[in-house]
């Protein structure tokens, strides 16, 4: 009888211990002075992300909610984990996403192993290779076309989806950060709006958007009140990942984007980063835009993306450019060329004439 009571007590405590794990995730983030300055939320983005992954795990593997778990349920085999991973891959999750989901569950099991006899070795699988360049790239024009088509064709929350895409393009935030942005995370500074969120690994993400875009996003404050939403009412973008993934599939089809280009929502994150590299070649600035702690990663991306073997230094050293054609050009030709040129050209010619007039 006593033994039975001990088992029942442990089973009751299991849910409490899982909640204690989530609370610990909150403590790691919400006590960060950089974040709690502007945030007083009950759940941190990290907790929300981990809890989502953990609930998904038990639903798929055991067809149970965490509220109904018993100790015996945690007695899993490595084949259960392998099967779960395979199902995630079959459902179209990227390698990096699968690694992240498994890492969340493994973290919970490690935490619980202090109280229960658990075989945490079942999670000792070789990580799937995460290729950071596996996602397709979009130009600014292409990316903004996604936003327009979403507004024109999506039946549910078309304006919110347009703003979601534009914000992703300009901020270069990951989707998990974007979906946890609240109105209080924006701060007006020097004519622009600084916005701060928390990403994977409790990493602080801070960037800025124009006042013009902020005013457009601000329209959502009233629109959100008119639509059904069971989540936090203070969230700016009141939508979840599943509808976003389904939206991306529809938009790819409507825009005729080939499957082999592998365009996903994460592709929007790269747009401003690539724009900075192409316009200025400033790798450090591009790394800051993407919140990359390792500038070598950004440098490799830049080199791989930009390298043209027909224009290597060894080839160009032997090339001579005939500039005699300049004599036949008119002033209007030069003006047209400049107007049609890119941002980098505009900056260079502006600085050239500014310096010339100063002298």
Q: Which domains does the chain have, with CATH numbers?
A: 2-123 (no CATH), 140-306 (1.10.443.10), 324-358 (no CATH)
**Contact between 233 and 250 (Cβ < 8 Å):** no
Whose structure tokens read 């969120």?
197
**Residue 256 DSSP code:** T
- Distance (Å, rounded) from C-alpha 48 to C-alpha 67? 16
Q: Is the per-residue pLDDT at 2 higher than 70?
A: no
Tens digit of each residue's pLDDT (9 = 90 or more) over 152-161: 999 999 999 9
Residues 254, 138, 343, 318, CA torsion sign? negative
**Contact between 150 and 251 (Cβ < 8 Å):** yes
Q: What global pTM score does this model have? A: 0.57
Backbone angles phi, psi at 135, to 5 degrees: -80, 145
* pLDDT band of 236, cuts 50, 70, 90: very high
**H or E stretch at 191:** none
CA-closest candidate to residue 106, choices 88, 131, 125, 90: 125
Tens digit of each residue's pLDDT (9 = 90 or more) over 99-109: 888 988 999 99
Which pair of tokens denotes residue 49?
Answer: 């992300």
Among 91-95, 232-236, 246-250, the least confident range: 91-95
Q: Is the per-residue pLDDT at 345 higher than 50?
A: yes
Tens digit of each residue's pLDDT (9 = 90 or more) over 243-256: 999 999 999 998 88
- Distance (Å, rounded) from C-alpha 263 to C-alpha 251? 10
Q: Which residues pair with 198 in a beta bridge?
A: 204
Among 73-82, 172-181, 284-293, the least confident range: 284-293
């Amino acid at each position: 009888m006593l033994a039975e009571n001990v088992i029942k007590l442990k089973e009751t405590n299991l849910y409490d211990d899982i909640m204690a794990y989530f609370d610990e995730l909150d403590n790691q983030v919400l006590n960060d002075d950089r974040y709690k300055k502007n945030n007083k939320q009950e759940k941190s983005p990290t907790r929300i992300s981990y809890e989502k992954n953990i609930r998904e795990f038990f639903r798929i593997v055991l067809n149970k909610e965490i509220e109904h778990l018993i100790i015996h349920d945690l007695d899993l085999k490595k084949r259960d984990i392998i099967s779960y991973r395979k199902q995630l891959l079959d459902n179209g999750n990227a390698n990096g996403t699968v690694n992240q989901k498994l890492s969340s569950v493994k973290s919970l099991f490690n935490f619980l192993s202090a109280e229960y006899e658990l075989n945490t070795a079942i999670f000792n699988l070789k990580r799937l290779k995460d290729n950071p360049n596996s996602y397709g790239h979009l130009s600014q024009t292409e990316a903004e076309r996604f936003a327009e088509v979403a507004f024109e064709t999506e039946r549910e929350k078309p304006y919110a989806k347009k703003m979601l895409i534009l914000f992703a393009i300009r901020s270069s935030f990951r989707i998990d950060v974007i979906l946890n942005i609240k109105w209080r995370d924006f701060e007006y500074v020097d004519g622009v709006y600084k916005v701060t969120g928390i990403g994977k690994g409790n990493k602080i993400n801070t960037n800025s958007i124009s006042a013009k875009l902020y005013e457009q996003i601000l329209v959502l404050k009233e629109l959100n009140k008119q639509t059904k939403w069971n989540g936090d009412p203070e969230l700016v973008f009141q939508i979840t990942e599943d509808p976003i993934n389904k939206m991306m599939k529809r938009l790819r089809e409507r825009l005729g984007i080939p499957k082999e280009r592998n365009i996903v929502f994460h592709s929007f994150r790269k747009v401003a980063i690539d724009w900075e590299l192409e316009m200025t070649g400033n790798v450090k600035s591009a790394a800051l835009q993407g919140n990359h702690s390792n500038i070598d990663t950004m440098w490799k991306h830049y080199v791989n993306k930009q390298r043209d073997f027909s224009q290597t230094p060894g080839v160009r050293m032997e090339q001579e450019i005939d500039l005699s054609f300049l004599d036949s050009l008119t002033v209007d030709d030069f003006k047209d060329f400049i107007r049609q040129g890119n941002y980098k050209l505009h900056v260079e010619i502006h600085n050239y004439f500014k310096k010339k007039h100063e002298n």
